[in-house]
């Protein structure tokens, strides 16, 4: 089996501060691939880097390549190996394939089932193709990972359910409003939670953003970051007539929006729907507001309940998804094994012998006047022709040149003689 | 002969509606888009065959086939089916098909089960005003029926979201805004058609009997239903009656329409009774 290796860090092994330092932009990836492909020990290589992971997948032709890559990372990212090596995982052969397939199928994501990862991996693959560092093995492996991911998405419910608080909030908003891009969001409080929520909303194309905070300066700073407008804290009640989604996360000990205020605002806004997301503890939004018509209030516990029921459903689906991944790994492994020289020659011989025998039987059955020794002679002759015909190709395959990429020629041979029928089914 | 062919076509349409209903029920549980598409095509085929059946009947009796209760029910179903195809094409509200298939199946079942007594030919059921009146009223009622369907879907979705326990319907139905929009579009269309239908009815009455209004029960209830929708549209515009309140009103309004269509003639009498004997 070829020496497939995957090294990387992800959200489980490294904090965000470290992941940031080791992340690669597209341009950096291209440059890195150009450098690394010069290395004689690396036959094929691909780098993928997202906010949750940086992983390098490659095919090595000699030992010691892991150290080479660690040195390369350390040098290009200006970071000492002692800082990131403890967080690094090094997976080989089947483990590496298994890991890649799981990542593509979004089983290794922070939010299992999230759909972006496949697109990110495809981009990483295109980058490697562009740099000319993805060849027979990685091409096949990446395409397999895409098809596993598609199968998991199609045949399990893994991507159906929102499994994080802010994702759940957005899902709810999408079931209340038909078009978020025409809606205005108001943030009450400019803390870290609020920021996170807004980042999610922006990635879902929400319309305008208002920020209202007790300390006006912070409101201005946050509003500027998200191209929104800052409001004074006293303006929050008047703003209820023009915003549609309110995300509240102030540190106030009492309600910052009362039922009476909303009641008046609803009349003014002609009962157009209002959606409150209250992620503050203690709560900011009077829960009685939920009783008003066309107003919906979800606090942090409500959102957690939504998430919990989603997680439960998702876990059953994960089992199924893991099975798809394992199946795909086994099939890919079988293909890899077949890429070795001996099985290929064997398959080629068997195919030729089969053809010769079949054709001989067909012809000889019409030639009943021939004696048995004559028939044997014909059989021997046809067999000899076949053996001669494939002698040169087999010699070519057997001749393992030092720097020749065997997997490439073996793959071509298998395709030329159509020896992969079993695996492709 | 023509009647026989027409009725056979109606029976085929009924079978298609029932199959579509079954398809939509499977879709409700399994949520596979292909099943929804197949179910939709079944309804579409049903409506086509239904239309052919009604045309055959119409040609045979040389008039609109709304001469008795069975024919009226069948015509109402055809109008609802055709209106549904349009609304589905325009909005692609997948779950509305379940409502449409259900109503179509029930209506056609009653039309097939009830005795089809042949009414004596009546010259009153002729003329361009009569045709306009009937077709507009049926089309309007169909649109208002679909508004009611969208309203029911709205209430199902709203209940889960309001209770902070998004349940079975949460994933299966679109957003509240969208359901409200569909319902509203259906009300506006239905109200417009109903208004024209009533006006042509008045003109027809004037031509036939010499007076616009004769305090016939059906006239009174029709005008009642018209007022419900007029008030609803007005309140929506000026007092923000949208969402839940609007959805409940569509159901109330449609209940009055169904009563006007069936109940008035069965229980109260009047000159519209002829159609629903």
- pLDDT tens digits for range A186-197: 989 876 666 767
pLDDT score, position B121: 65
Instruction: Determine the residue among B176, B245, B246 to mutate to test chain A binding: the one whose Cβ has the most chain A Cβ atoms within 10 Å.
Output: B176
Under a CB-based contact definition with an 8 Å cutoff, are residues B180 and B154 in contact? yes
For A74, residues 6+ apart whose C-beta sits below 8 A from its C-beta are A80, A81, A84
For B119, residues 6+ apart whose C-beta sits below 8 A from its C-beta are B67, B68, B274, B277
Contact between A290 and B170 using a beta-carbon 8 Å cutoff: no
pLDDT score, position B277: 42
pLDDT, tens only, A104-137: 988 888 777 777 788 889 989 999 998 888 888 8
Name the more confident of B191 and A79: B191
Helix/strand/coil for A50: strand
CA B2 to CA B128: how far, in whole Å?
A: 24
CB contact, 8 Å: B157 with chain A? Answer: yes
CB contact, 8 Å: B239 with chain A? Answer: yes
Residue B138's closest CA among B43, B49, B257? B257
CB contact, 8 Å: B164 with chain A? Answer: yes
Mean pLDDT of chain B: 88
Range 250-309 of A in CB contact (< 8 A) with B: 266-267, 269-273, 290, 293-294, 296, 298, 302, 305-306
The bridge status of strand A42-50 relative to strand A53-60 is antiparallel
Contact between A176 and B177 using a beta-carbon 8 Å cutoff: yes
Task: Measure in Å the smallest separation between the Cα of B169 and chain A Cα atoms.
Answer: 11
CA A158 to CA A77: how far, in whole Å?
A: 35
pLDDT, tens only, A327-374: 999 888 888 877 777 778 888 888 888 888 889 888 888 888 888 898
Under a CB-based contact definition with an 8 Å cutoff, are residues A246 and A256 in contact? no
CB contact, 8 Å: B177 with chain A? Answer: yes
Question: Count of alpha carbons within 13 Å of B198, Cβ hemisphere only?
Answer: 17
Q: How many CB atoms lie within 10 A of CB A342?
A: 9
CA A237 to CA B191: how far, in whole Å?
A: 38
Q: Is the pLDDT of residue B221 over 60?
A: yes
Which position among A51, A281, A385, A421 bears the catalytic label? A51
Residue B70's closest CA among B16, B105, B110? B110
CA A371 to CA B144: how far, in whole Å?
A: 90
Task: Measure in Å the smallest separation between the Cα of A325 and chain B Cα atoms.
Answer: 23
Q: Which of A177, A270, A271 minimises the CB distance to B177? A: A177
CA A425 to CA A393: how far, in whole Å?
A: 26
Q: Which of A175, A290, A298 minimises the CB distance to B176? A: A175
Instruction: Determine the residue among A170, A175, A176, A307 to mutate to test chain B binding: the one whose Cβ has the most chain B Cβ atoms within 10 Å.
Output: A175
Chain A residues whose CB is inside 8 A of the B241 CB are: 271
Under a CB-based contact definition with an 8 Å cutoff, are residues A271 and B243 in contact? yes
Chain B residues whose CB is inside 8 A of the A272 CB are: 240, 242
Chain B residues whose CB is inside 8 A of the A298 CB are: 164
Q: Is the pLDDT of residue A422 over 50?
A: no
Active site residue A360: no
E strands, A76-207, where?
Answer: 89-92, 184-188
The pair of structure tokens assigned to A288 is 């009685």
pLDDT, tens only, B239-257: 888 889 899 999 999 999 9
The mean pLDDT value for A272-289 works out to: 88
Question: Count of alpha carbons within 13 Å of B24, Cβ hemisphere only?
Answer: 23
> How far are the Cα atoms of A67, A264, B171 from residue A87, in angstroms, in the given order?
15, 55, 39
Dihedral Cα B251, B18, B186, B253, nearest 10 deg: -20
pLDDT confidence bin for B208, thresholds 50/70/90: confident
Chain A residues whose CB is inside 8 A of the B175 CB are: 174-178
DSSP letter at A8 equals: E
Instruction: Determine the residue among A172, A294, A297 to mutate to test chain B binding: the one whose Cβ has the most chain B Cβ atoms within 10 Å.
Output: A294
- What are residue A229's DSSP bridge partners? A210
Bond from prior residue into A282 cis (ω within 30 degrees of 0): yes
CB contact, 8 Å: A176 with chain B? Answer: yes
Question: Count of alpha carbons within 13 Å of B75, Cβ hemisphere only?
Answer: 26
Contact between A178 and B165 using a beta-carbon 8 Å cutoff: no
The number of angstroms, rounded, from the C-alpha of B62 to the middle of its chain's C-alpha atoms is 24
Most confident of A154-163, A274-283, B139-148, B243-252: B139-148
Name the more confident of A78 and B78: B78
Range 111-170 of A in CB contact (< 8 A) with B: 160
CA B8 to CA B159: how far, in whole Å?
A: 43
Lowest mean pLDDT among A221-230, B51-60, B137-146, B148-157: A221-230
Terminal C-alpha separation, chain A: 22
The number of angstroms, rounded, from the C-alpha of B49 to the middle of its chain's C-alpha atoms is 18
Q: What share of chain A is helix, strand, coil (3-state, %, to 5)?
A: 60, 15, 30
């Amino acid at each position: 089996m070829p020496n497939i290796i995957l090294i990387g860090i992800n959200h489980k092994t490294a904090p965000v501060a470290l992941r940031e330092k080791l992340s690669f932009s597209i341009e950096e990836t291209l440059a890195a691939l150009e450098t690394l492909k010069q290395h004689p020990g690396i036959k094929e290589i691909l780098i993928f880097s997202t906010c949750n992971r940086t992983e390098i997948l490659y095919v090595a032709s000699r030992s010691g390549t892991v150290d080479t890559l660690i040195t390369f990372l350390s040098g290009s990212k200006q970071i000492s190996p002692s800082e990131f090596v403890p967080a690094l995982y090094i997976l080989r052969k089947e483990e590496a394939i298994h890991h890649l397939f799981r990542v593509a199928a979004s089983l290794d994501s922070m939010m299992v089932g999230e759909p972006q990862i496949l697109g990110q991996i495809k981009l990483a693959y295109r980058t490697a193709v562009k740099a000319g560092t993805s060849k027979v093995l990685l091409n096949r492996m990446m395409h397999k990972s895409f098809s596993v991911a598609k199968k998991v998405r199609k045949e399990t419910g893994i991507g159906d359910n929102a499994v994080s608080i802010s994702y759940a909030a957005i899902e709810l908003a999408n079931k209340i409003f038909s078009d978020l891009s025409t809606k205005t969001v108001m943030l009450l409080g400019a803390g870290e939670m609020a920021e996170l929520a807004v980042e999610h909303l922006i990635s879902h194309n929400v319309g305008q953003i208002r920020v209202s905070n007790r300390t006006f300066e912070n409101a201005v700073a946050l509003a500027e970051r998200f191209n929104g407008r800052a409001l004074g804290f006293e303006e929050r009640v008047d703003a209820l007539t023009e915003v549609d989604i309110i995300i509240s996360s102030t540190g106030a000990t009492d309600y910052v929006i009362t039922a009476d205020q909303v009641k008046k605002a609803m009349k003014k806004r002609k009962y157009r729907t209002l959606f409150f997301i209250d992620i503050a503890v203690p709560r900011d939004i009077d829960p009685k507001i939920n009783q008003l018509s066309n107003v919906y209030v979800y606090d942090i516990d409500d959102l957690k309940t939504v998430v919990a029921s989603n997680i439960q459903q998702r876990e059953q689906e994960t089992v199924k998804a893991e099975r798809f991944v394992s199946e795909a790994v086994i099939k890919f492994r079988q293909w890899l094994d077949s890429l070795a020289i001996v099985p290929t020659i064997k398959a080629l011989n068997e195919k030729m012998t089969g053809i010769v025998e079949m054709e001989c039987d067909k012809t000889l059955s019409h030639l009943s006047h021939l004696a048995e020794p004559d028939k044997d002679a014909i059989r021997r002759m046809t067999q000899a022709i076949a053996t001669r015909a494939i002698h040169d190709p087999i010699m070519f395959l057997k001749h393992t040149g030092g720097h020749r990429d065997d997997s490439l020629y073996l793959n071509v041979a298998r395709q030329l003689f159509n020896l992969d029928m079993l695996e492709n089914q | 002969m023509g009647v026989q062919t027409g009725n056979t076509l109606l029976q085929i349409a009924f079978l298609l509606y029932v199959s579509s209903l079954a398809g939509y029920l499977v879709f409700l549980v399994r949520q596979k888009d292909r099943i929804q598409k197949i179910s939709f095509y079944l309804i579409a085929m049903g409506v086509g065959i239904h239309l052919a059946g009604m045309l055959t009947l119409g040609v045979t009796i040389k008039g609109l086939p709304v001469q008795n209760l069975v024919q009226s029910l069948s015509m109402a179903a055809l109008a609802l089916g055709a209106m549904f195809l349009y609304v589905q094409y325009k909005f692609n509200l997948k779950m509305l098909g379940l409502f449409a298939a259900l109503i179509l199946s029930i209506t056609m079942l009653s039309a097939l089960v009830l005795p089809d007594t042949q009414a004596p030919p009546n010259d009153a059921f002729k003329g361009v005003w009569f045709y306009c009146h009937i077709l507009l009223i049926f089309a309007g009622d169909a649109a208002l029926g679909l508004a009611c369907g969208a309203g029911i879907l709205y209430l199902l979705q709203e209940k889960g979201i309001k209770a902070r326990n998004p349940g079975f319907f949460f994933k299966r139905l679109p957003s509240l805004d969208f359901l409200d929009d569909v319902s509203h579009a259906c009300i506006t269309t239905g109200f417009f058609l109903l208004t024209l239908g009533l006006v042509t009815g008045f003109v027809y009455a004037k031509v036939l009997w010499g007076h616009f209004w004769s305090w016939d029960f059906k006239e009174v209830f029709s005008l009642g239903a018209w007022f419900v929708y007029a008030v609803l549209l007005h309140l929506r515009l000026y007092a923000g009656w949208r969402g839940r309140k609007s959805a409940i009103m569509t159901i109330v309004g449609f209940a009055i329409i169904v009563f006007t269509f069936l109940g008035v003639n069965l229980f109260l009498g009047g000159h519209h009774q002829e159609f629903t004997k």
